[in-house]
Amino acid sequence: MDLSTTYLGFQLPHPLMPGASPLVDDLDMVKRLEDAGASAIVLHSLFEEQIACEQARTAYDIDTYVESFAEATSYFPCRVHFAWGPDQYLEQIRRIKEAVAVPVIGSLNGTTAAGWLNYARRMQQAGADALELNLYVIAADPAESGEAVERRALEIVRTVKQAVTIPVAVKLSPFFCSFAHFAHQLDEVGVNGLVLFNRFYQPDLDVENLEVVPKLNLSDSSELLLRLRWTAILSGRLRASLAVTGGVHTAQDAIKAVMTGAHAVQLVSALLQHGPERLNTIREEMVRWMEEHEYHSLRQMQGSMNLTRCPDPAAFERANYMRVLQNWRS
């Protein structure tokens, strides 16, 4: 069965790859993923904010009591060479590149213009074949308009695109007021791929102690639906590749993603739950299903159910909600 696909300009044997997660922190796990047939390796995001925070915190913890007391002019080894977040991350890119033959995609979440630019360049220098910009933003500032949020994001993408020569994908949240318009703008600035969608830590409440508790539960297939809708809406309308991430747990899920137009399908929760070998299982099940349904290639089904080609395009738009409601009433 021909499962080949093109994502970010890479000819891949199939669309399945691990999404950004800590799975690839461990080189052995990376090799297991490649052995399981991963068509690319996506690293977890390098968070500029976390790096800044860690540096500040460590500097504070170490330096606050330095040269204070006669008996102890320091409390930690002084000449330690810290491999800060970026150094370790870049080293991991290098090591993964040495260890695997498939494309390696670095992932980045910046907070400053300089950070985006600097780290994107360094990832390319470290050997990343492509970048995934994680435009994680909670637009909580009432003074900032949606337009301003989008403008800022576009500027980041434009800057990074100018700074690197490797393909650049953008991983987004669905929380843009006119998502399709924004996606088109990204397409216009030359982004090579859109990754739909980011999953956030969701604050929960501890009502006993009146505290906010951050949570990140593993996904399930129900989360796929949102991705399917937007992939279907965007598919065929952009130059950029599309990747679906979040809620892909079965071969059926992956097939749906491809049918709505995904060029790549990223898995995280399924691999965390069942191990990297799950990727191969899903691929084999996809092949089986496609054989049973007499598909001869993945490209045949790619985008077959997108907004322009599916039999009932309105279903992806407002009508979808209405129909569900009516069904429920009946």
CA distance 199 to 255: 21
Of 65, 71, 52, nearest in space to 112 by CA: 52
Question: CB-based contacts of 137: which residues, under 8 Å, 6+ apart?
Answer: 149, 153, 173
Taking the complex as a whole, the smallest distance from the CB of residue 150 to other proteins amounts, in Å, to 28
Phi, psi torsion values for 297, nearest 5 degrees: -155, 165
Residues in the chain: 330
Taking the complex as a whole, the smallest distance from the CB of residue 18 to other proteins amounts, in Å, to 18
Tell me: does residue 98 bind other proteins (CB under 8 A). Answer: no
Tell me: does residue 210 bind other proteins (CB under 8 A). Answer: yes
Tell me: does residue 327 bind other proteins (CB under 8 A). Answer: no
CA distances from 100 to 13, 39, 41, 236 (A): 15, 10, 9, 32
CB nearer to other proteins: give 119 or 295: 119
CA distance 22 to 56: 23
Number of Cβ within 10 Å of residue 188's Cβ equals 13
Question: CB-based contacts of 314: which residues, under 8 Å, 6+ apart?
Answer: 320
Tell me: does residue 90 bind other proteins (CB under 8 A). Answer: no
CB nearer to other proteins: give 127 or 236: 127
CB nearer to other proteins: give 83 or 148: 83
Taking the complex as a whole, the smallest distance from the CB of residue 118 to other proteins amounts, in Å, to 8
Structure tokens at 149: 């949020």
* From 68, 145, 273, 326, residue interacting with other proteins (rule: CB under 8 A): 68
Of 181, 188, 268, 266, nearest in space to 230 by CA: 181
Tell me: does residue 52 bind other proteins (CB under 8 A). Answer: yes
Q: Which span sits near other proteins by CB under 8 A: 203-211, 281-289, 294-302, 314-322?
A: 203-211
Tell me: does residue 35 bind other proteins (CB under 8 A). Answer: no
Number of Cβ within 10 Å of residue 308's Cβ equals 12
Tell me: does residue 113 bind other proteins (CB under 8 A). Answer: no
Structure tokens at 160: 């990074």
Tell me: does residue 321 bind other proteins (CB under 8 A). Answer: no
Hunting for tokens 């990727």 — which residue is that? Answer: 279
Q: Which span sits near other proteins by CB under 8 A: 32-40, 204-212, 243-251, 255-263?
A: 204-212
* From 11, 56, 181, 296, residue interacting with other proteins (rule: CB under 8 A): 56
Taking the complex as a whole, the smallest distance from the CB of residue 217 to other proteins amounts, in Å, to 16
Of 252, 231, 232, 233, nearest in space to 243 by CA: 231
CB nearer to other proteins: give 75 or 289: 75
CB nearer to other proteins: give 89 or 182: 89
Q: Which span sits near other proteins by CB under 8 A: 46-54, 139-147, 187-195, 293-301?
A: 46-54
Residues interacting with other proteins, by CB under 8 A? 25-26, 51-52, 54-84, 88, 92, 209-211
